Amino acid sequence: MVVSGENTVSVQIKLIRKYLKLKIMEDNVTFRSNSSHHQERAHVYDLIKRSIANGESHSALMIGPRGCGKTTLVNSVLSQISKEVDVENDAIIVKLNGLIHHDDKVALKSITAQMKLENVVGDRVFGTFAENLSFLLSCLQSGADRQCRSMVFILEEFDMFCHSGRTQTLLYNLFDITHSKQAPMCVLGITNRIDVMELLEKRVKSRFSHRHIYLFPYEDLEAEARGNKPKSPLECCKQILVFLLSVPISLAGDKVDVVKKKTGRSKKKSISNEQPSELEEDLLPDEVVKRCNINMEQFKALDSDFLNDWNSHVQSLLDDERVVDSLEKMCYYTVNEQIFRNILFQIVSKLGTNKPYIDATDLVSIIDKTVTPEHRVMLLQSLSILELSLVIAMKHGMEIFDGQPMNFEMILHRYTKFANANSSTQTVPRPVILKAFEHLQALEIVLPVKSTDSIYNAADTTASRVQKEYKLYTLAVPIEDINEAVKNFKALPTEISHWYNNSVD
């Protein structure tokens, strides 16, 4: 790899790393051309476009699992419409999130701010939510015919607006406006709960259009309609990896014949074999560049030869059987693309002068740790030193008594014996130790032993009437997990490590 002039390898890697981080973590606008949700996108586009251009009123729900691209689809539609219609003057986009705006007062304050009507509202006092919302809409009316600007409400985490403990005032008023056509409005709810309709009040249901748009990962209705076999989850994961890690050749500052370069490379397989035009076209959207305050001129320092090498390297990752196996495991474990993006972000962050290319071993390792983590090991490593010491004391005791269960007094005796033998170990009061042991119970690291010959029901066993210090417990985690947790436990005192590894006497 030869880089001429002042464009050293470190500069090239730094720019590629910066661009990929933006592309992976910040780009929630680009709708991939190889995505299988073209029909759903066309449906959302039609609803919003008709509301803005023709003044129609619509309501709909978009339902799909987390990370399947619901928000990205909506953002890409809004981005496209903003280039076709004067959205700034003809419409108002209001985005609410159920995790933040589930309270009516907070939601109304956010709606007022996004409509830019804080000065109009001022210190006015309204009796109901409906009166306040009606006043806001009246402020948007203008002209001789008192027409109102079109409004598009995007309700993220829609199910959080449907809590049974609260009245669904916000939803009722929004759907009522669309139902009665008081003002041109499109209300689009986004949720991952397929049973969300069961959460709606009857009055809200009666004003909802019952239009549902479902997004399912790896489902390609268009391919099935044409009689073609839809892409497998593994193929989709491969495409996502190539898409997110590739850098457009058009970023390079030097003017080169890209086609000539691609056809002239015979040793490495070019990424353009599958996507001939996508790499040159898919630059970061203007919305992302503006939001992140990025100067795109800096990327002109990139060298086209370097980018060709990089894109070929990304494609070559798919030739590694270890990477393919890890991707297959991941795509069947989760459909959340954000998890995959987090994995790739970690990989990209490791790039540097000493490691200019992605190491397949690192990629496999991070995928394995992400999708199949040893939760029990992580749980043990999250314990306090005292709690881990009680687990070790219980392990030693059960080894002595051939796996027989132990009570708190027996565990306390072994821990006290260790603490007295090590002057550096801090003395802990008995109530604190008992509280730590109860925490182990709550985490289900230790479980009570139930009496099998009890004549009472499961909730009233013989063991339940024993004083808590003398109830029998057994370890609920395998010894191998304890070994791994102690081995990799950060800042574990040497005395405890030595105590654990010593033979039981």
Using pLDDT thresholds of 50, 70 and 90, give the confidence band for residue 347. very high
- The 10 Å CB-count burial string (b at 16+, else e) for 203-222 is ebeebbeeeebebebbbbee
Lowest average pLDDT, out of 23-32, 163-172, 191-200, goes to: 163-172
Per the DSSP assignment, residues forming a β-bridge with 214 are 63
CB-based contacts of 135: which residues, under 8 Å, 6+ apart?
Answer: 121, 124, 126
Query: Do residues 440 and 446 touch, judged by C-beta distance below 8 A?
Result: yes
Within 318-372, where are the H helices? Answer: 321-333, 337-349, 360-371
Average confidence score pLDDT of the chain: 82
Type of residue at 51: S
Note the pLDDT of residue 333.
82
Lowest average pLDDT, out of 193-202, 281-290, 335-344, goes to: 281-290
Cα 375 to the center of its chain, rounded Å: 19
Note the pLDDT of residue 435.
92
DSSP per-residue string spanning 226-280: TTPPPPPHHHHHHHHHHHHH---GGG-SS---HHHHHHH--SS--GGGT-TTHHH
Question: Which backbone phi and psi does 98 adopt, to 5 degrees?
Answer: -65, -25
In tens, the pLDDT along 37-69 reads 888 999 999 999 999 988 899 999 999 998 888
Report the candidate in 135, 133, 118, 48 with the shortest Cα–Cα distance to residue 90. Answer: 48
The CA distance from 31 to 278, in Å, is 12
Residue 196, classified by CB atoms within 10 Å of its CB into exposed (0-12), middle (13-18) or buried (19+), is middle
In tens, the pLDDT along 259-312 reads 333 333 433 333 333 333 344 356 888 888 888 888 888 888 888 888 899 999
Residue 298, classified by CB atoms within 10 Å of its CB into exposed (0-12), middle (13-18) or buried (19+), is middle
Domains of the chain: 38-217 (3.40.50.300), 228-371 (no CATH), 378-501 (1.10.10.10)
Query: Do residues 312 and 1 touch, judged by C-beta distance below 8 A?
Result: no
